[in-house]
A = this chain, B = another copy of it.
Amino acid sequence: MSNKPSTKPLSGFMELLPEEQKLFNELLETIKNTYELCGFIPMDQPLLDRKEVLLAKAGGETEKQIYELTKGDTELALRFDLTVPLARYVANNYGSLTFPFRRYAIGKVYRGERAQAGRFREFYQCDVDIIGNETLSIGYDAEMPIMIARVFDNLNAKFKTGPYKIRINNRKLLSGLFEALSIEDKATELLALFDKKEKISSDEFTESLQNIGLDNSAFELIQQFLDSDIDGLPSLSIENEQFQEGISETLFVLNAAQASGSPIESFVYDPTIVRGLDYYTGVVFETQLVDYPQFGSVCSGGRYDNLAGQYTNRALPGVGMSIGLSRLFDQLVKNNALQIQTQKTNSQVLIVPIEENNAAALTIQKQLLDMSIACEINWSDTKLDKRIGYGDKMGIPYLMVIGNNEVESGEYVLKNMQSGESTQGSVEDIVTTISKV
């Protein structure tokens, strides 16, 4: 054996077998079609950008994880999300865009994280954002959970991913509360603690909350706030403009979800949803698959005040959401939540010419393709069994062997490979039979 390089893909880079790829693409198409149906336009930006552009706002972790390179004397990097390139794009094309600017983007992003199970270094994000010019109505925030519901309803209809729960909060409730209590200096600590409330015990949470060093009344009010449902919030009598805005925005979003006819049990107010410390400013949300809580949030996002402050002085508020598709797909597959299909190709018919009836095979192929019936010819010079076996292995549902008998009589045989049943007739009859299924 000569000295050949490894043929494995890089660690953390997903590379699928045909039957997996087909399934992955079907998930991706379902998401994409839902985004387009909801009036979002596609964007497809470069994967490479100037390093100074990508890192204009980022810090710490992001900077460490970035894939950087130099070409000529330009410092470049691979994008680590789809939002930073969007910000640059909107700043660059401000005069040519119509606002609110509604775009989706489905593409690969790169983060050089430590390799571990279920973490990818190259992965798909499926993002939707709506960007306003100076202002953006709360109605657009309300659209997001409604569309998430539609996406996961569609995924469930096709792939049985099951019920989901969209947990909704508003950062104005949190900052209003801290402002009312004059504890803004403890905001970072408190948000981090809220964020992990679900993962720790109730006693641990209370102890950590005590350790933050609040006075008694603040401690109590925070506990009441966390225990309250959305309708109970007004009775906490927190006299703070932001907090009151938070209540009315949250009610708007929940009422809109109900009016939209989405399954209302899937939407829930949750005061512990935080989503990152310094990016979001209003509505925030996370989505869980009820049958797979261990996946964590499979779709999240929220409202931000200023998309592109690092590139332009214009105020561009936005609201957005993101699905980490590579990770979601990987988790669903590992939990047997998606059935890998036996059909590895779109081909509906395998055409096998024998006795040199190549021209007839090509004519039939053309007729099927013209009727949008996907098909292919097996040309191999091997035994008939093996040629038919190819169709079996690929899971192609129908077989047509084209020999002298068929060509002379004009009567072709279509064999259903699953039932073993055969139908005989003209090419037109055969097209009809396949189209009926």
A residues adjacent to B (C-beta < 8 A): 1-2, 4-10, 13-18, 21-22, 24-25, 36-50, 52-53, 56, 67-69, 71-72, 74, 76, 78, 88-89, 91-93, 96-100, 102-103, 108, 110, 112, 122, 135, 137-140, 143, 146, 150, 255-256, 259-262, 310-313, 344-347, 358-360, 362-363, 365-366, 369, 372, 374-381, 390, 393-394
Contacts and interface: CB of A to CB of B under 8 A. Distances in A.
A17 B89 CA distance: 9
Contacts of A393: 98
Contacts of A143: 377
Given A256-B358, A380-B100, A21 B46 contact: no
Contact of A5 (B21, B53, B313): B53
Contacts of A359: 255-256, 259
A46 B135 contact: no
A169 B7 CA distance: 33
B139 A50 contact: no
A139 B379 contact: yes
10 contacts: A10-B50, A10-B74, A18-B43, A37-B346, A38-B376, A39-B376, A98-B390, A150-B369, A259-B363, A260-B363
A22 B7 contact: no
A5 B56 contact: yes
Contact of A88 (B7, B14, B347, B362): B7
A260 B366 CA distance: 6
Contact of A22 (B41, B312, B345): B41
Given A10-B76, A17-B93, A47-B122, 7 more contacts: A5-B53, A5-B311, A7-B311, A15-B45, A39-B347, A146-B362, A259-B358
A46 B122 CA distance: 7
A89 B344 contact: no
Residue of A6, A92, A98, A390 contacting most chain B CB atoms (<10 Å): A98
Contacts of A259: 358-360, 362-363
B5 A52 contact: yes
A193 to B, nearest CB: 34
B42 A25 contact: yes
Contact of A137 (B36, B261, B363, B380): B380
A261 B366 contact: yes
A310 B6 CA distance: 10
A96 B19 CA distance: 10
A78 B1 CA distance: 28
Nearest to A43: B21
B15 A89 contact: yes
A129 B266 CA distance: 45
Contacts of A376: 38-39, 102
Contacts of A366: 260-262
A7 B312 CA distance: 9
B39 A345 contact: yes
Nearest to A372: B37
Nearest to A4: B311
